[in-house]
Amino acid sequence: MYGTPTPSYPRTAYLLTLVGGVLIAVISALSGLALWALQGSETVLGMKVQLTPTEEGTLAVAIMIGAVVAYAGTVMKSRPAAARAWGIPVIVLAIVTLFLAGGGLFIGAILAIVGGAIAARWKFPAVPAPAPPTFAGPGYGTPPGGTGTPTPPLGGPGKYCIHCGAANPAIARFCAKCGAGFGP
Ligand SMILES: [Zn+2]
């Protein structure tokens, strides 16, 4: 096999994103369970604990986002070529969870944000190129006629006369067929 055992995926980004996503999902789920279990009981402030549909929905969204972030983390390992593309979405999703469910998700969100940032900057390591052919037999080398790019025609694309429709060079000032001027 190839010599150097350099990791072929962003290991730090993978770990941070995966752990961050799991934390976001788990903490959201636990928050929901806690609110649900304590529902109706009184807090020290004398207020009743309530789990409103809005909070349920918010926590559900946070759980789903955490799952997506965790999935993105696994992608960074299984498909390293896609890691970079997932970087920014992970950051955005993690920031969203901060607004959704507040400080309880702070650690998970921060981990995911850092992981996403690393992934977004990560450069897929160059694949070891196959050895170039050492024998330049027929079929190799510069094709006859040179490799220069074709020269565009002088004056660029042509233009058509608005009077007779004849094609004229772009630099023409008068139509070669009917003599009409190509005035500005
Ligand atoms: Zn003309």
Tokens representing 126 are 């160059």
Global pTM reads 0.61
Half-sphere exposure of 179 (CA within 13 A, CB side): 0
Task: Give the Å distance between the CA of 184 and the centre of ligand 1.
Answer: 15
| Residue pLDDT, tens place only, 94-149 | 999 888 765 456 889 999 999 999 999 988 766 666 655 555 444 444 444 444 44
Q: Indicate the domain borders of the chain.
A: 11-121, 156-184
Task: Give the Å distance between the CA of 152 and the centre of ligand 1.
Answer: 24
User: Which range, 76-85, 122-131, 134-143, 153-162, is most confident?
Assistant: 76-85
CA 124 to chain centroid: 13
Mean pLDDT, to the nearest integer, of 51-69? 88
Largest pairwise CA distance in the chain: 96
Task: Give the Å distance between the CA of 170 and the centre of ligand 1.
Answer: 13
* Interaxial angle between packed helices 11-37 and 53-78, expressed in degrees from 0 to 180 and rounded to the nearest 10: 160
